[in-house]
C-alpha cells in the first residue's frame, strides 16, 4: 500500500513527472532560443511561470459551465500522470505492468485531448470553441497512424504489455531496426498530440488567440501547462520504451540514466522538428496524416507481419 502510494505520488508518479516536465520545458525553450541566436530563458523560468500562475487571481467566464471548466484541467493532469505507471522507467518491468497495458497507456494519453476539447467548449468563448473543435478534428488525423505503429511494434514482440515489449527488444537489439519507419511516423504524430508546430493548429496564436485555453487563467492554466509538460514526458517515455529499448538489459544502476537520456533525446528531436517547420492548415494536416502517415503505418504493420514469420525468435 505504502509502496503503491510512493509510486503514484513521488516516483515515477506526479512529483518526478512534474520536475522532469519542467526540465523538459526548459530544454525545449532554451534550445529554441539558441537556434534563433538568443540567450534564452534562465533555468528557473518554467518554475517561475508555474508559481506565478498558481498565485494569480482566478477569473471564470460568466457563461462558462463552472464545473466542467474547473474539472477538465485536473482530469487532464490525472490522466497524463497516471499513464507513467505502466511504462518501464526504473527496471525492465514497470510499476503496475500487465498484459494489455499498451492499450491502457494509449487510451490514457488520448484523454487529455478530450479534456481540452470539453474545457474549451464549455468556456463558451468563440476562440476557445474553435480551438476545441480543431483539437478534436486533429485528434482523428494523428491518432490512427500513432496507434498503428505502436501496435505494429507490439505485433513483432508478440505481447501486449510494454514491459514485455521492452524485454523482447532488449533481448533482440537488431529487431529495433525493423521499426524504424514506425519510429518516424510516431514522432510526427507525437507533434500533433503535443500541439506543437507544425501541428499547433488548435492553439494557433496568430489566428485564434490561444485555442481552447483562451479563457483559462491562474491556477487552471498552470494545471494545463503542467499536464502538457507531463504529456510530453510520458509520450517520450512511451516512444522510448517502444522504439528505443536500448540499455534496459544493462546493469540495473544504468537503466535509469539511460531512460533519462532516451527521453531527452526524443524531446530534442521534437524541438528540432518544431523549429524546422511552419504551421500547416487544418486540411493540409489531415490530408498529410491520411495520405502519408497512415499508409506508412500500414506498411509497418505488413512489414512486421513478414518479419515475424521470417526472423528467428
Partner 1 sequence: MGMISKIINWSRLKSPWVLHFNTGACNACDIEIIAALTPSYDLERFGVVLKATPRHADVLLCSGPVTKQIESRLVRIYEQMPEPKFVVAIGSCACSGGVFNGCYNVAGGINSVIPVSAYIPGCPASPKAIIDGVVKLLRSLETKERKSGGKK
Site for partner 1, rule CB under 8 A: 29, 33, 36-42, 44-45, 47-52, 55-59, 127, 205-206, 209-210, 214-218, 221
For residue 203, the minimal CB distance to partner 1 (Å) is: 10
Q: In this complex, which beta carbon is closest to partner 1, that of residue 62 or of residue 309?
A: 62
For residue 244, the minimal CB distance to partner 1 (Å) is: 31
For residue 133, the minimal CB distance to partner 1 (Å) is: 18
Asked whether the bond before 12 is cis by omega within 30 degrees of 0, the reply is: yes
H-state helical runs in 93-199: 101-122, 126-157, 162-171, 180-193
Q: In this complex, which beta carbon is closest to partner 1, that of residue 9 or of residue 48?
A: 48
Q: In this complex, which beta carbon is closest to partner 1, that of residue 193 or of residue 225?
A: 225
For residue 231, the minimal CB distance to partner 1 (Å) is: 19
For residue 211, the minimal CB distance to partner 1 (Å) is: 10
For residue 301, the minimal CB distance to partner 1 (Å) is: 41
Q: Which three cell numbers stand for residue 156?
A: 513483432
What region does 196 belong to: left with phi over 0, alpha with psi -120 to 50, or beta? beta
Q: In this complex, which beta carbon is closest to partner 1, that of residue 37 or of residue 67?
A: 37
Q: In this complex, which beta carbon is closest to partner 1, that of residue 51 or of residue 66?
A: 51
User: What's the rounded Cα separation, in Å, for the pair 229 and 48?
Assistant: 15
Sequential DSSP letters for 184-232: HHHHHHHHHHTT-TTS-GGG-HHHHTTGGGTT--HHHHHHHHHHHHHHH
Q: Contact 137/74 with Cβ under 8 angstroms?
A: no
What region does 65 belong to: left with phi over 0, alpha with psi -120 to 50, or beta? beta
Q: Which three cell numbers stand for residue 130?
A: 474553435
For residue 313, the minimal CB distance to partner 1 (Å) is: 51
For residue 103, give every residue at least 6 positions away whose Cβ sits within 8 Å of its Cβ, in sequence order, or none. Answer: 160
Length of the chain: 313
Q: In this complex, which beta carbon is closest to partner 1, that of residue 189 or of residue 221?
A: 221
Q: In this complex, which beta carbon is closest to partner 1, that of residue 91 or of residue 197?
A: 197
User: What's the rounded Cα separation, in Å, for the pair 289 and 14?
Assistant: 32
For residue 46, the minimal CB distance to partner 1 (Å) is: 9
Number of CB atoms found within 10 A of residue 211's CB: 25
Strand blocks (E) in the chain: none
From residue 290, give the alpha-carbon distance in Å to each of 143, 193, 279, 295: 10, 15, 17, 7
Q: In this complex, which beta carbon is closest to partner 1, that of residue 1 or of residue 39?
A: 39
Amino acid at each position: 500500500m505504502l509502496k503503491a502510494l510512493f509510486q503514484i505520488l513521488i516516483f515515477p508518479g506526479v512529483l518526478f513527472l512534474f520536475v522532469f516536465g519542467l526540465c523538459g520545458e526548459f530544454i525545449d525553450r532554451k534550445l529554441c532560443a539558441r537556434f534563433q541566436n538568443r540567450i534564452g530563458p534562465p533555468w528557473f523560468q518554467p518554475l517561475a511561470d508555474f508559481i506565478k500562475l498558481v498565485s494569480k487571481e482566478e477569473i471564470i467566464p460568466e457563461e462558462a459551465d463552472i464545473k466542467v471548466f474547473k474539472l477538465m484541467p485536473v482530469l487532464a493532469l490525472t490522466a497524463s500522470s497516471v499513464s507513467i505507471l505502466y511504462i518501464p522507467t526504473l527496471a525492465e518491468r514497470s510499476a503496475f505492468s500487465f498484459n494489455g497495458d499498451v492499450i491502457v497507456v494509449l487510451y490514457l494519453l488520448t484523454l487529455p485531448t478530450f479534456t481540452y476539447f470539453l474545457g474549451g467548449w464549455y468556456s463558451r468563448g468563440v476562440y476557445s470553441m474553435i480551438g476545441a473543435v480543431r483539437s478534436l478534428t486533429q485528434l482523428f488525423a494523428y491518432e490512427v497512424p500513432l496507434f498503428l505503429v505502436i501496435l505494429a511494434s507490439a505485433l513483432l514482440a508478440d505481447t501486449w504489455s510494454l514491459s514485455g515489449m521492452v524485454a523482447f527488444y532488449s533481448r533482440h537489439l537488431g529487431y529495433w531496426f525493423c521499426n524504424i519507419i514506425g519510429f518516424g511516423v510516431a514522432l510526427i504524430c507525437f507533434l500533433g498530440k503535443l500541439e506543437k508546430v507544425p501541428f499547433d493548429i488548435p492553439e494557433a496564436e496568430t489566428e485564434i488567440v490561444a485555442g481552447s485555453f483562451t479563457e483559462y487563467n491562474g491556477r487552471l492554466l498552470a494545471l494545463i501547462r503542467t499536464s502538457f509538460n507531463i504529456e510530453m514526458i510520458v509520450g517520450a517515455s512511451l516512444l522510448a520504451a517502444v522504439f528505443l529499448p536500448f540499455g534496459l538489459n544493462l546493469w540495473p544502476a544504468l537503466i535509469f540514466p539511460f531512460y533519462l537520456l532516451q527521453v531527452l533525446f526524443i524531446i530534442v528531436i521534437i524541438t528540432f522538428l518544431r523549429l524546422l517547420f511552419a504551421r500547416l492548415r487544418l486540411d493540409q494536416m489531415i490530408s498529410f496524416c491520411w495520405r502519408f502517415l497512415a499508409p506508412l503505418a500500414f506498411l509497418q504493420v505488413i512489414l512486421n507481419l513478414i518479419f515475424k514469420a521470417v526472423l528467428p525468435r
